[in-house]
Amino acid sequence: MANQWVPPEEYVKRLPMHAAFSCMFFTDTEGRVLQLRSCVKQQTQVWQWPGGNTDNENEAPFETAVRECREETGIIFTGQPKVLAVFWQSVGHWPVAKLGLAFDGGQLTADELNRIVLDPDEHDEFAVRSVNEWAKAMDTRWWERLAAVHRAQQSGATVYLEMRSDALW
């Protein structure tokens, strides 16, 4: 009886687990990308966008991005959610696959950038650089992700990216 109905609370026990994360993607008024430098030694990527993992089962992805952005930078984002990218990352560094969203944070002025206050437990520096300048500071896989999301922001089209432990995007 392959199609026998199973109560949802039983069915979900059979499903694979995934972790969820969300982030905000900001540029400055010149189109340069904002990133934060992680001071957490276990991070696989040193430069990151403001964001992080969903903390509880009822936190929506946009809520996660806005909360993490506020905690990590002091930026209180009040705009509407616009998804730039959907990510899927295979099991590898994490023991479960990860599904993530990047939301468009828009452009930050010089004054807004100057008001950034980093959480010293997570990040020790922020930088705003052109996509080409970021290529020199990042691993190729992560830079390709940044470039794809930047193109999505410029074009208005959402991008879908898979990161597998055995292949590039």
pLDDT, tens only, 14-47: 888 888 999 999 999 999 999 999 998 776 678 9
Predicted confidence at residue 169, as pLDDT, reads 39
Amino acid code (one letter) for 115: R
Cβ–Cβ under 8 Å, residues 158 and 152: yes
Residue 3's CB: how many other CB atoms inside 10 A? Answer: 5
Q: Does 168 score more than 60 pLDDT?
A: no
Q: What residue spans of 24-105 are helical by DSSP H?
A: 61-73
Tens digit of each residue's pLDDT (9 = 90 or more) over 97-127:
899 999 999 999 999 999 999 999 999 999 9
Q: Is 106 left (phi over 0), alpha (psi -120 to 50) or beta?
A: left
Supply the pTM of this predicted model.
0.90
Instruction: Please give the Cα distance from 70 to 91 (Å, whole number).
Output: 28
Query: How confident is the model at residue 119, as a pLDDT?
Result: 94
**pLDDT of 167 higher than 70:** no
